[in-house]
Amino acid sequence: MDRARSRPRRARVALSARGLLVAGVLAAAAGGGCQRSARETAPAAANWQTDNPVVPLPTPPLGVPADFSALKFVVTPEKVRLGRWLFYDPRLSNDGKVSCATCHRPENAFSEPTPHSTGVGGQTGTRKAPTFVNGAWPLYDHFFWDGRARSLIEQAQGPMANPVEMGNTHEVVVSTVSGIAGYRRMFAAVYGNETIDIERIAEALAAYEATRLSGNSPWDRYESGDRTALSAAAKLGAELFFGRAECSQCHVGWNFTDSKFHNLGIGWDAAAGVFADSGRVRVSGLAEDTGAFKTPTLREVTKHAPYMHDGSIATLAETVEHYNRGGTPNPHLSPKVRPLGLSAREVEALVAFMQALDGEGYLDTPPGSFPQ
């Protein structure tokens, strides 16, 4: 979590929202703690078109200044429907059992309730699948925990070809999707012809992901003038979050993330002098990025414990206590992380504030049938 010593709360949030609109998080990818479910069974055939009608793009909920027309790729209702099928379709994986939704679960705000993700053949990764809720409008174009993708479309391509996650190749994914007549018709309806390539598949996935929005939380209603929307504890938490606890140094704007990378000491082995996962440095090559990971959004944060990139902290209260201690000392600890001196009551208040960021607009259920 993080910071910047704030100016008065409402002025700061309004300013951050405007800044985010100009640039625009999320989300993210790993391969996820799989359980065999409806998301992983063989797709049903009957009435797949009529069972999944085209629906209008969602109206952004209160507190979410999302503008689909401002994105760098075109989002249409037809493309979202296509992307939704692809997102939940396990046929994109090497074994036909793992879909994007295996790890990015709607009931967990498109994250997962496990420390690490599990992909094809029961292989376990080293990171937790992050949420991509509100992820199409980041402040900076950094995707995945280490920012190795520069767009939501590029991010969508990664898991399909990751040997631990979906275990496929882009060529095989394209061949599989192209071999399904129903998909050929749907791609033609969206793109004007039946050409199917990995870029179009990823763009359709990104279009669906862009529609998973979260807003109209108690905090959003409070900021819009409803003085009864927050509990007394959450109000105290907000004062701390934007003030002495300095959480808004990094959890900024309407989506509560700066889309940047910070070292909190997670995974540091003091005896060995190394991190279990070195993080951003493997992408940037900059020593100061050692052990640094992207600031996650706090929208719907209660839905996907445990926390951090490696799922190493079990609860929100324990997460706050990690910051309260000043993180874990290491040679590259972020200068923004320092002991806070919060009381037990204040820790509870910060948790209450984060609970008040749970909203609505992101939920979905898997399609009951798929293109055949």
Question: What is the pTM for the complete model shown?
Answer: 0.88
CATH architecture of 26-210: Orthogonal Bundle (1.10)
For every residue of 232-259, DSSP letters joined together read HHHHHHHHHHTTTT-GGGTS-TTTT--S
Each residue of 33-49: pLDDT tens digit?
343 443 445 555 669 99
Each residue of 173-230: pLDDT tens digit?
999 999 999 999 999 999 999 999 999 999 999 999 999 999 999 999 999 999 999 9
For every residue of 92-123, DSSP letters joined together read GSSSS---HHHHSBGGGTTB-SSSS-B-GGG-
Each residue of 103-131: pLDDT tens digit?
999 999 999 999 999 999 999 999 999 99
Residue 29: its pLDDT value, please?
A: 35
CATH code 1.10.760.10 region(s) in the chain: 26-210, 215-355
CATH architecture of 215-355: Orthogonal Bundle (1.10)
Higher-pLDDT residue of 252 and 43 is 252
Average pLDDT over residues 286-310: 98
Residue 168 has pLDDT above 90, yes or no: yes
Residue 31: its pLDDT value, please?
A: 37
Residue 250 has pLDDT above 90, yes or no: yes
Using the structure block, give the residue that is written with the tokens 């070292």: 263
Residue 44: its pLDDT value, please?
A: 58
Residue 61 has pLDDT above 50, yes or no: yes
Question: By the 8 A CB rule, do 267 and 277 touch?
Answer: yes
Residue 46: its pLDDT value, please?
A: 67
CA distance 197 to 208: 17
